[in-house]
Homo-oligomer: A and B are copies of this chain.
Amino acid sequence: MYDIKNKSNNSNNLNVNKPVPFIGKGFQPKTRSWMGYFVFFIIIFVLELGTSTGVISSLTLPKPSDVLETIIQLFQSGLLFKHLVPSILRLVIGALIGISLGISIGTLIGLFSYFRSGLVPVIAAIFPIPKIALLPLFVIWFGIGEGSKYALIALGSFTPTVVATYGAVDNVDRTLIRMGQSFGLSWISIVYKIVLPGAMPGILSGLRISLAISIILLVAAEMLGAEYGIGAYILEAGSLYDLERLFAGVTILSLLGITVSVFVTKLEQKILKWR
Q: Chain A at the B interface: mostly helix, strand, loop or mixed?
A: helix
**Quick check: is A128 within 8 A (CB to CB) of the other chain?**
yes
Contact A113 B253 (CB under 8 A): no
User: Within residues 218 to 265 of chain A, which ones have a CB less than 8 A from any CB in chain B?
Assistant: 218-220, 231, 234-235, 238-239, 241, 243, 246, 249-250, 253-254, 256-258, 260-261
Residues of B within 8 A of A36 (CB): 117-118, 120-122
Please, how many angstroms separate the alpha-carbon atoms of A109 and B133 in the complex?
35
**Quick check: is A114 within 8 A (CB to CB) of the other chain?**
yes
Contact A238 B135 (CB under 8 A): yes
Contact B234 A133 (CB under 8 A): yes
Nearest to A119 among chain B residues (CB) is B39
Give chain B nearest CB distance to A244 CB in angstroms.
12
Choose, from A71-79, A92-100, A181-189, the stretch at the interface: A181-189
Please, how many angstroms separate the alpha-carbon atoms of A253 and B216 in the complex?
20
Residues of B within 8 A of A111 (CB): 26-27, 29
**Quick check: is A136 within 8 A (CB to CB) of the other chain?**
yes
Cβ-neighbour of A133 out of B40, B60, B235, B256 (below 8 A): B235
**Quick check: is A153 within 8 A (CB to CB) of the other chain?**
no
Contact B23 A124 (CB under 8 A): no
Contact A129 B253 (CB under 8 A): yes
Please, how many angstroms separate the alpha-carbon atoms of A126 and B40 in the complex?
12
**Quick check: is A200 within 8 A (CB to CB) of the other chain?**
no
Nearest to A170 among chain B residues (CB) is B29
Give chain B nearest CB distance to A224 CB in angstroms.
13
Q: 10 A-B contacts, Cβ less than 8 Å apart? A: A27-B181, A29-B111, A39-B121, A40-B122, A43-B122, A60-B140, A125-B254, A128-B253, A128-B254, A135-B238
